[in-house]
Chain A
Amino acid sequence: MARFNLRKAEPGDVPDILRLIKELAKYEEMEDKVMLTEKELLEDGFGDHPFYHCVVAEVPEEHQKERGPSVIGFAMYYFTYDPWIGKLLYLEDFFVMEGYRGFGIGSEILKLLSHTAVKSRCSSMHFVVAESNKASIEFYKHRGASDLSLKEGWHLFRIDKEYLLKMSAEE
């Protein structure tokens, strides 16, 4: 397999995006945690105000596996804001289907994202990686990533809806 195409996702890609989100979640053994629907992905990504952006990797028909999909990889990202340096590109999800790995698709996706970041005048790209995911950590470190949690001691926190409701209701 040699040829593939990277492009901005379109509304018609939403079923493939959801499929790949679920495949990545399965890889992380969390498939039942995916609550998003195609309808939400469509509204949230392709409405007046997109909450995320996607890049997809697609293979030409002759390289598709028998009755296999043509969209075989994706990256989901959005823009965040650092009060010291401004805009950042935040890489949220990044996945290439198993049978299509080892051909440089991941590297090319990251390169396209780097280009997007620089073009939109972002100071850097941020993302989280599970500390046990050694393969991914190496992939990123190889490309210059630094572990801010290790270096600077940042911890990611979450306040769930249950507690947001509680706080909203407090007198």
Chain B
Amino acid sequence: MANYILRKAEPTDVSDILRLIKDLAKYEEMEDQVMLTEKDLLEDGFGDHPFYHCIVAEVPEEQQSAEGYVIVGFAMYYFTYDPWIGKLLYLEDFYVMKEFRGYGIGSEILKKLSFTALKTRCSSMHFIVAEGNTPSIEFYKRRGASDLSLEEGWRLFKINKESLLSMIAEERAVFRTTAR
């Protein structure tokens, strides 16, 4: 296999994007955690205000996958903001189908993302990796990535919807506020 192109995702790519999100989740043994629908992905990525951006890797029809797919890899990213240095590119998901690995598609995607980051004047690229995912950690370290959790002790926290709703409902009797 030699030919593929990398391009910005279009609205019609949404079902392939969802398929690849699920493939990656399956690889992480979490396929049943994917709640997003094609409709959500369409609204959130291709509406007036995109909440994410995607690059896809596409092969010509004659090189399609065993099940007949031509979109064989993707990266999902968005822009975040560091109060010390400004814009950052955040790499959220990054996956190439098993039968298309080893051809440099992943490297090319990362290269394209690096270019996008620089073009939009981002200071760096951030992403998270599970500490057990040694092949990915090596892949990134080879390209200059540093583990901020290890080096600087940063821990990622989450407050889920249930707790958010709890906080909203709490009454604070003593002090008055005007939240406009």
Contacts and interface: CB of A to CB of B under 8 A. Distances in A.
Nearest to A82: B92
B79 interface: yes
A52 interface: yes
A83 B21 contact: yes
A62 interface: no
Interface size class of B (residues with CB under 8 A): 35 or more
Interface stretch (B55-63, B65-73, B162-170): B162-170
B82 interface: yes
B172 to A, nearest CB: 6
Given A2-B174, A36-B84, 19 more contacts: A2-B175, A76-B83, A80-B78, A86-B51, A92-B83, A115-B179, A124-B160, A126-B156, A126-B157, A145-B157, A145-B158, A148-B155, A148-B156, A155-B130, A160-B123, A161-B122, A163-B143, A165-B114, A167-B114
Interface of B: 21, 24-25, 30, 33-36, 40, 44, 49, 51-52, 76, 78-87, 90, 92-93, 110-111, 114-115, 117-118, 122-132, 140, 143-150, 152-168, 170, 172, 174-180
Interface of A: 2-8, 21, 24-25, 30, 33-36, 40, 44, 49, 51-52, 76, 78-87, 90, 92-93, 103-104, 107-108, 110-112, 114-115, 117-118, 122-132, 140, 143-150, 152-168, 170
